[in-house]
Every structure is written in C-alpha cells, then in structure tokens.
Amino acid sequence: MRFLLGLTGSIGMGKSTTAQLFADRGCKIWDADSIVHHAYSKNGVAVAGIFKIAPSAVYHGAVDRAKLRSLISQDANLLPKLEGIIHPLVKADREGFIAKNPKSILVFDIPLLFELNSAADFDAVACVLSSCEVQRSRVLARPGMTEDHFQMIRSKQWPAEDKAARADYIIDTNSHETAAQAVDAILEDIKKRQKDA
C-alpha cells in the first residue's frame, strides 16, 4: 500500500540529508528543488515561460538563477508570475511520480510545503528541525551564500517552530544520529499504520 510522506523544513535544517536517510532505507524520494533545477536547465520546461516574463534571466537556453534572484529582489511582481509558471509544472511532475509508484513509501522533499498549503496532499508530514546556530552555519557554508540572501530566503519561509507545530513527525537533525533514529521511528510507525489500515 502506498504512503505519501511530505518532508519539509526551513533552509539549512537538514532536509536533503534526511531525505537520503529515507532513501537508504528503501523509500522513493521526490525532490521539488531538483525538479525546478531541471526545469531551469538548458531547454527545460520552464525556460520559455520565464523568457516571457524575465528575458534577461535566460542565457543560452537556460535560466540564470543568480540573475533571476536579482530580478526578483528588484521587482515584487515577478515572484508571483514565476510561481504561476513553476508550480503547475512541479505539481504535474509530482502526480506522475505518484502514479508510477503504487506500492511504496514515497517521500516528498518540499521546502515550502506548508507555505503552498500542500499538507493535505500527503498522508503525513515530517518536519526537520535543528538549532538556529546549526542552521546558520550550514547555510552560510554554501558556495555563494551571503547573510543578506539567507535572510531573504528565511523571510519567505514560515518560522521553523510554526512548521514543526503543524507536522505529524519531528526529525531532530542537530546530529546524524538523532536524525537517523527519528527516521527509523517514523518508518516503523508508517508500517504499523499501513498494517492497521
């Protein structure tokens, strides 16, 4: 029986590492950021639409993400237009992934799951959580990341505690061990829920 688990959390909270822990245990992973990355790549499905709203962000048939970020920071009207292009493409890809995997525990790595009001699309939602210090050090260690860009991303995301309050499961990612223990406990609970269904 299929089980759809949404995996979310604020930037730098350890979502990608946690998704890998689920994958290591046999779950199939759908990664929203990866889908967007492919959509922006050369001849990707979003390129033509983005060219219509932000032609200077498209270069040699691909979207220049840094340029697009810069344009969004200068024009408040651009982000809703971009979301109008990206969100339907991402949703269609997610639905295709679900259709192809009828008997699996599927994990959906979606940073803005709550912000997009998508919680009802899943059987349960798990939220990754770490301390503010751990989050900040992880994010600022990323190539090209600045304090200003970090704060801009945070301003678009719900506070971590609000996400955690709405989640069915919390995954403490301050260490690899605590994250792995939480993932094992979640999978045990899901299997029990499937058996009881």
pLDDT by residue (tens digit) across 91-125?
Answer: 999 999 999 998 889 999 998 899 889 999 999 99
- The answer to whether the CB of 109 falls within 8 A of the CB of 15 is yes
Q: Indicate yes or no: pTM above 0.95.
A: no
Amino acid identity, residue 157? Answer: Q
Amino acid identity, residue 137? Answer: S
Task: Walk me through the domains of the chain, giving residue ranges and CATH numbers.
Answer: 1-27+104-197 (3.40.50.300), 35-103 (no CATH)
At residue 76, the pLDDT reads 84
The dihedral through the CA atoms of 50, 57, 152, 21 has a sign that is: positive
User: Rounded to an integer, what distance in angstroms lies between the CA atom of residue 170 and that of residue 164?
Assistant: 6
Residue with tokens 């219509």: 52
Question: Any idea what DSSP says for residue 104?
Answer: S
Phi, psi of 170 (to 5 degrees): -115, 135
Better-predicted residue by pLDDT, 154 or 123? 123
